[in-house]
Amino acid sequence: MSEPVGTQATGQTQPASAGASGAGDDWPSPARAWYTIWLIAFVTMLSNVDRNIINLLVQPIKRDLALSDTQISLIIGFAFSSAYMVVGLPMARVADQRSRKMILTAGLTVWSLATALCGMARSFGGLFFARGVVGGAESVAGPSSMSMISDMVPRSKLPRAFAVYQLGISAGQATALLAGGLLVAFFAGMGPVHIPVLGEMREWQLVFLVCALPGLATALLFLFTVREPVRRNRRGKGSVPLREVGAYLLSNRILFLPLFLSIGIGAIETTGLMTWRAAFYERTYGWGPAQIGPLLALSLLISTPIALTLGTWFAEYMGKRGNPDAMARVCFYSQALSAPFAIATSLMPSPWLAFFCGMISSIIGLASAPAQNAAIQMVTPSEMRAQISAVYLFTISVIGNGLGPLLIALVTDFLLKDESMLRYSMAFFAAVMAPGGAALMYLAIKPYAQAVRRSGFGEACR
């Protein structure tokens, strides 16, 4: 069957016409398609390095800028997510009309420079502002990347294409931990360094400066080696009116409300726990950044390929069986099975038990990523893809980054009133969030199957 295209305001899909923009089987060559996908994954890795490196620098930043847990959580979360929210949707509309390649290249350049600006910060306000610029610039990456990937390979290959994309996210998190830990240890051994014009720089500031450099080089590579892919199955040129996107989401609210709420709650849980994990090991077991950074990176490097391989296989297996609810059901299984391990991790009596319990939670939870990313694209009209991807990523980057770190910090600062009790804040947080996210995903399974049947993807993916 032909692939689905745009929708009317009622949310019903319409059949593709032969003359639709980008319709047909003129896919890029496999070599070019997968080169582009892998390079997008590398750009995604860099965005996650610049986004997450601060998590490993919590203690030295607090020391030098005299910040509380709540203040550092506002820098990590609110500063990033508020700018992401303001810039994200308008730029997603631009991505539905203009060159996604150029938007992604510009965003990479700006967030790399802003990461360097984080290293020049001397106060709460300066670091808050620089972190906001990182968030605003990174908001263009997800919608543009996901839209490009969806136009690079046939629908049957989407789970593995988005597995590569997810690999970039996890690789970025691992690189932030590994490189950050090693760089902190290296620069701490040197003591403060005087740099002309910039003045005296402490170890955490030097880490930010070093992390900014690869992005600037990669922006040039992306600009000169990647081609903008043909947009497929569009009803016309340009972006549909915002009111039509809103009408589509509203008419399909029985699907998108529980789906996005589940994803948002999962992002709050994952981001909150990830943000405070290094501080948890330091406060609970006495492991510093130089020790826990490489170990957490090793955990991601081991768990990510296993999780994405299993998740891709399971999603494609379920899809080939013709189950229209396959992608949503894979997400539910993953969330439900990972919940007990997420709760138990911070309660373990030793750091090694916490480490291995966290690795198991990561493998099971991350296995849903290929299905989750593919699920959104499979029920999204082409001309709305970047904008609805922006809503999807809003739930992850704005809600997750904005609330996750803050909620744990509030429990620690104002409920337990003791930063050494961080482990109990994290356990309580996971016990509330993980089951709630799984329950909402379960509610999305039936309406998701109905949406897939309407779109025709159930047949297309066999």
Q: Answer whether residue 428 shows pLDDT above 80.
A: yes
Per the structure, how many domains does the chain have? Answer: 1
Distance, in Å, from the CA atom of 431 to the CA atom of 292, rounded to the nearest integer, reads 24
Range of the domain at 265: 30-230+242-460
Contact 146, 377 (CB under 8 A): yes
Q: Answer whether residue 6 shows pLDDT above 50.
A: no
Share of the chain above pLDDT 70, in %: 91
Q: How confident is the model at residue 255 (pLDDT cuts 50, 70, 90)?
A: very high
Domain membership flag for residue 54:
yes
Q: How confident is the model at residue 15 (pLDDT cuts 50, 70, 90)?
A: very low
Distance, in Å, from the CA atom of 81 to the CA atom of 135, rounded to the nearest integer, reads 6
Domain membership flag for residue 235:
no
Distance, in Å, from the CA atom of 332 to the CA atom of 244, rounded to the nearest integer, reads 29
**330-349 per-position pLDDT tens digit:** 999 999 999 999 999 999 99
Domain membership flag for residue 3:
no
* SS3 category, 233: coil
Domain membership flag for residue 6:
no
Domain membership flag for residue 19:
no
Q: Answer whether residue 278 shows pLDDT above 80.
A: yes
Name 428's Cβ contacts closer than 8 Å, sequence gap at least 6. 411
Domain membership flag for residue 16:
no
Q: How confident is the model at residue 163 (pLDDT cuts 50, 70, 90)?
A: confident
Q: Answer whether residue 171 shows pLDDT above 60.
A: yes
| CATH code, 383 | 1.20.1250.20
Domain membership flag for residue 209:
yes
pLDDT at residue 456 in the model = 60
Average pLDDT rounded to a whole number, residues 80-103: 87
Domain membership flag for residue 20:
no
**Reported pTM:** 0.69
